[in-house]
Amino acid sequence: MFNSTSWPKPVPDAQVLAATPVDARHHKTPKPIAQQTEAAGVPIRSIGVSHRERIAAHLLALEPQDRYLRFGYVASDEQIHRYVDQLDFDRDELFGIFNRKLELIAMAHLAFSGDPNCINCAEFGVSVSKSARGRGYGRCLFERAVMHARNEGVNLLFIHALSENNAMLKIARQAGAVVKRDGSESEAHVHLPPADFDSRMTELFQEHVALTDYHLKAQVKQFWAVLAPLQELRQGVRSAHSRFRN
Ligand SMILES: CC(C)(COP(=O)(O)OP(=O)(O)OC[C@H]1O[C@@H](n2cnc3c(N)ncnc32)[C@H](O)[C@@H]1OP(=O)(O)O)[C@@H](O)C(=O)NCCC(=O)NCCS
């Protein structure tokens, strides 16, 4: 769900909380990166203006119920196009997971706050294609976004979700988020620790791996695209040969 124009007010004790390690505040260990799932090591790359079409295709493929969960209302195709057209790639950060055909199968939007009362805040939104759910991609995107947010100096991350959105709220809770339910809607916020050497190096490394993976997939796709007409030609010659013999 997204409404980056009206940023929630930071909770009154935000500064106190921000100085307290996440684990100590919530007395539980946030769930680590989806190491136990097949998503471990899934390449997640940042995506930019050149991916607008793929972003639109991914979002337009979401069913009404998923559009409702993602945006807080059943976004029409036109509203999705408007959302995609208005994405600000200079201000915000978007992340994507691509399949072999280079279709965008999961994406996250980390929107940085423009509110002077909440300058170190950001909001997270995510969607995973139906066929790719339950593999840990949602959680991995969340963790990728958290790392980037930390490295950009964000210390408070918001997630707006419908109260019925168990998957999203689970991801948030397991990351140590405080979830406040307000009827059909819930707001989760998680305090992020400051960036450190590890978060910076890990982000650089993961981005590099993801870009390499993306370019390899692009080359393979191109290779098959070149090969396909040749295959057709070969097939045509073979059929002509067999017709000639008969
Ligand atoms: C929410 C969403 C992103 C989750 O993506 P996903 O890749 O399927 O989630 P993951 O596989 O990372 O699962 C995360 C956790 O949620 C749990 N989960 C997944 N689907 C669930 C469901 N329908 N009900 C309850 N829990 C669920 C998983 O078991 C996992 O918990 P675990 O690690 O303890 O096993 C995806 O369902 C989606 O795109 N929904 C539509 C858009 C949306 O709701 N966006 C969020 C609002 S911004």
The structural domains of the chain, with segments of one domain joined by +, span: 14-221
pLDDT for position 224: 84
Number of other residues whose CB lies within 10 A of the CB of residue 152: 14
Give the pLDDT of residue 68.
97
The conformational region for residue 32 under phi > 0 = left, psi -120 to 50 = alpha, else beta, is beta
Distance, in Å, from the CA atom of 210 to the CA atom of 200, rounded to the nearest integer, reads 15
Residue 14 pLDDT: 33
Q: Give the separation between CA 43 and CA 229, rounded to whole angstroms.
A: 31
Give 41-80 pLDDT, tens digit per residue.
899 999 999 999 999 999 999 999 999 999 999 999 999 9
What pLDDT is stored for residue 11 in this prediction?
A: 38
Q: What is the pLDDT of residue 32?
A: 52
Ligand 1: centre distance to CA 228 (Å): 37
Q: Could you identify the atom of ligand 1 that is nearest to the CA of residue 69?
A: 44
Task: Report the alpha-carbon distance of residue 77 to residue 74 in Å, rounded.
Answer: 10
Alpha carbon nearest to ligand 1 atom 16, residue? 167
State both tokens at 61: 């493929």
* pLDDT of 10: 41
226 Cα to the center of ligand 1, angstroms? 38
Rounded distance, CA 126 to CA 55, Å? 12
Name the stretches of the chain with pLDDT < 50.
2-6, 8-28, 33-37
Query: Rounded distance, CA 177 to CA 30, Å?
Result: 9
pLDDT at 192: 97
Residue 94 near residue 54, CB atoms below 8 Å = no
- Taken in order 226, 229, 235, 241, the sign of the CA dihedral is negative
| Residue 206 DSSP label | H
The domain over range 14-221 is classified in CATH as 2.60.40.10: no
Residue recorded with tokens 């337009």: 60
What pTM, to 2 d.p., does this model score?
A: 0.83
Nearest atom of ligand 1 to the alpha carbon of 37? 33
Residue 30 is predicted with a pLDDT of 53
Q: What is the pLDDT of residue 150?
A: 98
